[in-house]
Amino acid sequence: MKKPLILLTNDDGITAPGLRSLIAFMKEIGEVVVVAPDSPQSGMGHAITIDNTLYSKRVIIDKEKGAPIEYSCSGTPADCVKLGLQEILDRRPDIVVSGINHGSNASINVIYSGTMSAAIEAGIEGIPAIGFSLCDYGWDADFSKCKEFVQKIVIQALNYGIPKGTVLNVNIPKAAQQIPKGIKVCRQAKANWKEKFDKRISPTGKEYYWLTGKFELLDKGEDTDQFALSQGYVSVVPTQFDLTAHHTIQTINNWNLNE
């Protein structure tokens, strides 16, 4: 049987350890093609390049036998998926996998995530897609304990499919002395960032601002991604990109909009 074609991308850049680990995991499952940003693009959300030129080139990072085809891209994670689907691949991929992100994309973080926006871009095109994140921001994070769970989820998605209009947001607790306890399918926890701008002065005397913030969990539910992670489980949140608040349509219809 022909191996599944897997398109990989991320938002931390093509040389990021998380992506290099993901490549190694996916090579054991299918044929891998990588299209990833040539520099870090964290926090880009679903931005696309429309007012600048977009560049892409074939690169060789892994010189070992059986290394995947890789392309770097000057654009955002969403650009990478668009370019991969439209210009680089010669056939439709069976799945798009984004990550492994350095840091959590659970709860409200999904809104800002370039990792998840890449997966969502694939989902918009009707392609099964998953975004993986490890809750460890360190560049030297240990991704080895992710392998079992990443491979299991991708294989199950290939076997069973992912419902249309949905992508999977997978977060893995920070690797400590033990591997995660298991996998839990969850809802997105209600949370927010209490943000603050730190006003600073540059060496040239120019004022500038540095964004800081504190994560505030507003949800005490035990069925959320944040709770699962706190208990040592991998969280899987089915995420939709139809942003319509269907339950409020009737409420808005009750306004006097046509009078």
In angstroms, the CA 217 to CA 202 distance is 34
For residue 43, the 8-state DSSP code is T
CA-closest candidate to residue 101, choices 121, 117, 122, 83: 117
Binding residues for a divalent metal cation: 11-12, 42, 101
Convert 102-131 to b/e letters by CB count within 10 Å (16 or more is b).
Answer: bbbbbbbbbebbbbbbbbbbbbbeebbbbb
Q: Specify the 3-state DSSP secondary structure of 184.
A: strand
Q: Binding site residues, as ranges?
A: 11-12, 42, 101
Which residues in 19-165 belong to E strands, given as ranges? Answer: 31-37, 56-59, 69-73, 95-102, 129-134
